[in-house]
A and B are shown apart, each in its own frame.
Chain A
Amino acid sequence: MPTIMILFWFMPAWSDTAPYADLFENPVQMGQHETLDRVGERLQQVNVLRADFRQEKQMKMLRRPLLSSGTYLFAAEHGIYWHTVKPFDSVFMLTPQAIYQKSAGSEALAVDVATKPALAGFTQVFLSLFSGDSQVLEEKFALFFQGKDEDWQLGLRPKGMVMKKVIDRLVLQGGETVTQLDIFEANGDHTRIFFENIQTGGALSDGERERFKR
């Protein structure tokens, strides 16, 4: 196949990010952008966050996106608990040490993060995204920002080689809290997650704490 056609083949993936093209022309540093810093502070203060989510996953191989929805729980010291209700009941949990997945009818799958360097970065990143850990974010990503306090967009491009193989870019959007997350994968897949009915604060109930213990 002529080279030019290969380029065209890959173009559709890049064109997905077109809506954010201008975002990625605004590189920033933490501590040098007031709005960004305020946003970061607001995010860091959230210890517990509960929301409903809707997810659209557009895969390179599929013509239609995969749609799913469910509930989402973030707890600063524990991790992220992702409970998908439609179309399948399944749980996905992310903690600093491990990734855990359980679908109905299958055995639980626990992935040890220490043996997979790629995953280690992945979990760390996602946890710091939601907890607003600016240090980690700056370390692992090149940052891009635009918008105001009530409506901002934060773009991230991984710096590390291992991460780059999996993730091309990330975009966080929101106001008071994060309301939308876009994950653009290196292989061309694109996942968009909408967060609704967001409640922050409060403490974890015992039941919720149990969940993180598996």
Chain B
Amino acid sequence: MANANASNVNQAMASPPLRRRWWFGFVLLLIATAAWLVYRGPKIDTDLLALLPPTERDPVVAEALDHVARHWTAKTIFLVSHPEFDQAQAAAQQLAEALVDSGLFRDVQAQLDPRLEEAYFDLYFPHRAQLPGPRGDSLFTKAEQALYSPLTSIYGDLLEKDPLFLFAGFLEQLPKLNPAMQVRGGWLTVESQGQHHILLTATNKGEAFHAQGGTGIEPLIQAWQTRAEERWQATLRAVGVVRYASRAAQQARGEVTLISTGSTLAVVLLFLIVFRGPRPLLWSFIPILTGLITAFVMTLLVFDRIHVITLGFGASLIGVCVDYNFHFFCERFHHPKQTPAFALRSILAAIGLGALTSAIGYAGLALAPFPGLRQMAVFSTSGLLAAFFTVVCLFGHAHATPPQKPPRGYRRVRQLTTHLDKLCWNGWATAAAVGLLVIMALGLYRLDANDDIRSLQKPPADLQREETVIKQLIGNPESGRFLLVEGHDRNQVLAREEAARDFLAQHLDEPQPFVTQGISQFVPSLSSQRARWRELQQTLIDDGALDAYLTRMGFEPAFAAAIEGQFSGEMPEPLPLENWLKHDASRYARDLWLGATARGFASMVLFNRPIDQDLASALEQQVPGVRYIDKVADVSRVMKRYRQLTMLFAAISYALILLLLLWRYGFLHGLRTFCPPIIAALFALASLGWLGVPINLFHIIALLLVLGIGIDYTIFMAESGVPSTLLAVLLSFITTCLSFGFLALSGNPVLQAFGTTLVIGLLAALVLAPLARRS
């Protein structure tokens, strides 16, 4: 069979010098493109969110999420704490200056602009009778109390114009996520447990997840933390996506270095030890390097950016690309008197099939529409094929001098082969097999799934602690969840917001008040403004309550008449949203307005606790145009759906491979060849079950890789079970497993999932591979 293959292949392939020219041409093009890309500056992503698929097919919602990303997730919140307010203030002042000086932030909000009060007065005072405030009896009670207060003296002749303190009443009910938050010395502060905490926020310049910006910020923050501690004995905490991204980038960089160094070292050592000389090693560098550079260039060409997870995963490619080299050099030994070209031809069918199945396995990563996985697919497939192409083109002339001694370990392997030949199926074997199958079945039974995307993000513990402290003090705003409110015109958006808030308030006010922050609380809808005016008119004028109050308090008749005059007659022009948006007073709340969309207008409403799904659905039905957005839940749902789809696809792939094997090797041999991959996959799953690791989409995708790579061992065993092949299989297993082993140690849960599944699966595939030998 081998000879027939060789002659077919001979006819199919061009003569060696031509192949070499193709290869050189390809490499020149490759290097030119690589140089150009590096010169242009490659974009490297570090955040998990960039790996995720767009969960929204609705363009309006997608735009809203984008707006949120740009305005909210790009914010970093700083908290300066000290038992004494003066010290905290001094430290905060220093931090504010440092933030501005660093040039990495814009919109640094430190002290509140003292003109803000004037702005509020300027905008709202004329509309005080149209804005929400105390109603009915409590209106008069509060007004009376206010009259007694010494503070009223400061407000001087405002009293004439607003004797019922409507303006103050409006300000009092404006939403505060944490009611304990106050303004002191112009700073936003909270006092808690003997400490004064001062709050500052700043928006990062540039893309929130851009590595360049990110790497600059985290070390700065740490430096500021040290300085605050030393200079003021104050504690500085900071929370923001950029910190997590930065740490993740640092970690990923470290891991990519570790993985590539480790893998390369393993490869170098193995080559030197086994093949006893530098030349096989030097030859092998060429396909590996070509593979890696091709992978890098192709990914950048196709996606215009590359994620560190891709790099981390791709570093494990080293262990896979080297396989063809192992087979070549082992084969050289098997027929030492033949030319390198002959060795190449002999193994071509096997390594061709192996490359094909592995490439298909990697390409399966592109199934789910995850940009990150698609990057990995392009990276790995192109790298693998480039390495293969290099071996095919160049190795016809590699290692021309025949090897003198056999590779180390060859004798051991030959002994192993003899043992394997002697193995036969007896009672013990059957009992062991059954026992193993039972244990596996139990493991599969214990298997659990967890598609929650949060399990994929393992933030560093110290950052999490800082985040918890800060969130508690600012009132626990929910960052991944909000209401998206849409309408045909601006006023409809406001009216719908009000309806949504009323609905939620009815259902959620215990045990703690449910606080929302929405534009409609700063600018009520036109109908609300009119309703308030009519309500005041009704209470004050029609019901005569105003008259009663003024008489009871003993207001001078002239004043009383003037005051009554304010509420009779026509309602003043209501406050339109556009005016609010343009005015200085809206500076801190403006971001809630999402503006014009394809369907009209939209805004978002924040709140301080999550809303349970049933209530959210009820709300969406009750108030049209309102949607509860929970990005975390949405992505987790997508993850789950794709996990289920991929499981189906995996089953189909295995079925197709079975058919292929049955076709090539006949019924019985084909079945035997199929056993290792399928058992290996089930073994991997069962092990995860026993280890208590809940599986997610990435574990299933790793199973596809187990198939794609593990099948190589089976095919090589099936094609020729000679000791040299077995040695090559063993060597390639060692390098591959080592590479994926490093991944399993990664701090990144995605890479960890891949690594663990692959190591276990490939180990099982290797151990079972001899089953596929021709008997």
8 A Cβ contacts from A94-129 to B: 97-99, 101, 103, 105-107, 109-112, 114-116, 118-119, 122
- A92 lies within 8 A of B149 (CB): yes
* Closest Cβ neighbor of B194 among chain A residues: A213
Q: How far apart are the CA atoms of A84 and B148 in the complex, in Å?
A: 10
By a CB distance below 8 angstroms, the chain A residues around B555 are 61-63
Q: How far apart are the CA atoms of A60 and B159 in the complex, in Å?
A: 10
* Closest Cβ neighbor of B142 among chain A residues: A106
Say yes or no: A97-B556 contact (C-beta < 8 A), given A106-B145, A166-B156. Answer: no
Nearest-neighbour CB distance to chain A for B701, whole angstroms, equals 54
Q: How far apart are the CA atoms of A63 and B551 in the complex, in Å?
A: 10
- A62 lies within 8 A of B183 (CB): no
- B154 lies within 8 A of A106 (CB): no
Say yes or no: A166-B172 contact (C-beta < 8 A), given A90-B149, A112-B186, A214-B191. Answer: no
- A61 lies within 8 A of B148 (CB): no
> Is B25 an interface position by the 8 A CB rule?
no
* Closest Cβ neighbor of A193 among chain B residues: B150
8 A Cβ contacts from A167-194 to B: 183, 185-187, 189, 191
- B112 lies within 8 A of A59 (CB): no
- A114 lies within 8 A of B186 (CB): yes
Nearest-neighbour CB distance to chain A for B85, whole angstroms, equals 7
> Is B58 an interface position by the 8 A CB rule?
no
8 A Cβ contacts from B177-214 to A: 179, 182-186, 191
- B148 lies within 8 A of A57 (CB): yes
Q: How far apart are the CA atoms of A68 and B148 in the complex, in Å?
A: 8
By a CB distance below 8 angstroms, the chain B residues around A64 are 554
- B148 lies within 8 A of A101 (CB): no
* Closest Cβ neighbor of A87 among chain B residues: B148
By a CB distance below 8 angstroms, the chain A residues around B12 are none
* Closest Cβ neighbor of A183 among chain B residues: B153
Say yes or no: A88-B554 contact (C-beta < 8 A), given A112-B183, A122-B154. Answer: no
By a CB distance below 8 angstroms, the chain B residues around A88 are 144-145, 148
By a CB distance below 8 angstroms, the chain A residues around B556 are 60-63
- A101 lies within 8 A of B184 (CB): no
8 A Cβ contacts from B133-157 to A: 138, 141-142, 144-145, 147-151, 153-154, 156-157
> Is A66 an interface position by the 8 A CB rule?
yes
- A107 lies within 8 A of B179 (CB): yes
Say yes or no: A115-B145 contact (C-beta < 8 A), given A105-B138, A185-B153, A187-B156. Answer: no
Nearest-neighbour CB distance to chain B for A191, whole angstroms, equals 8
Nearest-neighbour CB distance to chain A for B405, whole angstroms, equals 86
* Closest Cβ neighbor of A90 among chain B residues: B145
Q: How far apart are the CA atoms of A116 and B155 in the complex, in Å?
A: 12
By a CB distance below 8 angstroms, the chain B residues around A116 are 114
By a CB distance below 8 angstroms, the chain B residues around A97 are 85, 184-185
> Is B163 an interface position by the 8 A CB rule?
yes
Q: How far apart are the CA atoms of A186 and B154 in the complex, in Å?
A: 10
Taking residues whose C-beta sits less than 8 angstroms from the other chain, chain A's interface range is 35 or more
**Which of A61, A165, A183 has the largest count of B CB atoms less than 10 A from its CB?**
A61
Say yes or no: A98-B156 contact (C-beta < 8 A), given A62-B554, A105-B138. Answer: no
- A62 lies within 8 A of B154 (CB): no
By a CB distance below 8 angstroms, the chain B residues around A189 are 153
- B172 lies within 8 A of A107 (CB): yes
Binary A-proximity of B549-568 (CB < 8 A = 1, otherwise 0):
00001111001000000000
> Is B117 an interface position by the 8 A CB rule?
yes
Q: Which of A62, A92, A105 contacts B150 (CB 8 A)?
A: A92
By a CB distance below 8 angstroms, the chain A residues around B97 are none
Say yes or no: A166-B154 contact (C-beta < 8 A), given A61-B159, A63-B554. Answer: yes
- B147 lies within 8 A of A59 (CB): yes
Say yes or no: A119-B185 contact (C-beta < 8 A), given A62-B554, A107-B172, A107-B179. Answer: no
By a CB distance below 8 angstroms, the chain B residues around A59 are 147, 159
* Closest Cβ neighbor of A118 among chain B residues: B154
> Is B107 an interface position by the 8 A CB rule?
no
Q: How far apart are the CA atoms of A166 and B154 in the complex, in Å?
A: 6
Nearest-neighbour CB distance to chain A for B195, whole angstroms, equals 12
> Is B160 an interface position by the 8 A CB rule?
yes
By a CB distance below 8 angstroms, the chain B residues around A166 are 153-154, 156
* Closest Cβ neighbor of B151 among chain A residues: A101
By a CB distance below 8 angstroms, the chain B residues around A191 are 150, 153
**Which of B160, B172, B182, B186 has the largest count of A CB atoms less than 10 A from its CB?**
B182
Nearest-neighbour CB distance to chain A for B551, whole angstroms, equals 10
By a CB distance below 8 angstroms, the chain B residues around A106 are 142, 145, 172
Nearest-neighbour CB distance to chain B for A27, whole angstroms, equals 26
Nearest-neighbour CB distance to chain A for B114, whole angstroms, equals 5
* Closest Cβ neighbor of B552 among chain A residues: A64
Say yes or no: A119-B154 contact (C-beta < 8 A), given A61-B159, A63-B555, A105-B141. Answer: yes
Nearest-neighbour CB distance to chain B for A141, whole angstroms, equals 17
Q: How far apart are the CA atoms of A186 and B172 in the complex, in Å?
A: 27
Nearest-neighbour CB distance to chain B for A22, whole angstroms, equals 26
By a CB distance below 8 angstroms, the chain A residues around B144 are 88
Q: How far apart are the CA atoms of A61 and B553 in the complex, in Å?
A: 10
By a CB distance below 8 angstroms, the chain A residues around B554 are 62-64
Q: How far apart are the CA atoms of A81 and B245 in the complex, in Å?
A: 50
Q: How far apart are the CA atoms of A116 and B154 in the complex, in Å?
A: 11
Please report A residues at the B interface, Cβ cutoff 8 Å.
57, 59-64, 66, 68, 84, 87-88, 90, 92, 97-99, 101, 103, 105-107, 109-112, 114-116, 118-119, 122, 165-166, 183, 185-187, 189, 191, 214
Q: List 29 A-B contacts (CB under 8 A).
A: A59-B159, A60-B556, A61-B160, A61-B559, A62-B553, A62-B556, A64-B554, A66-B147, A66-B148, A92-B151, A101-B149, A101-B151, A103-B142, A105-B141, A106-B142, A106-B145, A106-B172, A107-B179, A112-B184, A112-B186, A114-B186, A115-B114, A115-B117, A115-B186, A119-B154, A122-B154, A166-B153, A183-B153, A187-B153
**Across chains A and B, which 3 residue pairs bring their CB atoms closest together, nearest first?**
A114-B185, A64-B554, A63-B554
14 further A-B contacts with Cβ under 8 Å, apart from A166-B154, A214-B191, are A62-B554, A66-B147, A90-B148, A92-B149, A97-B184, A106-B172, A112-B186, A115-B112, A115-B114, A115-B185, A115-B186, A116-B114, A119-B154, A186-B156
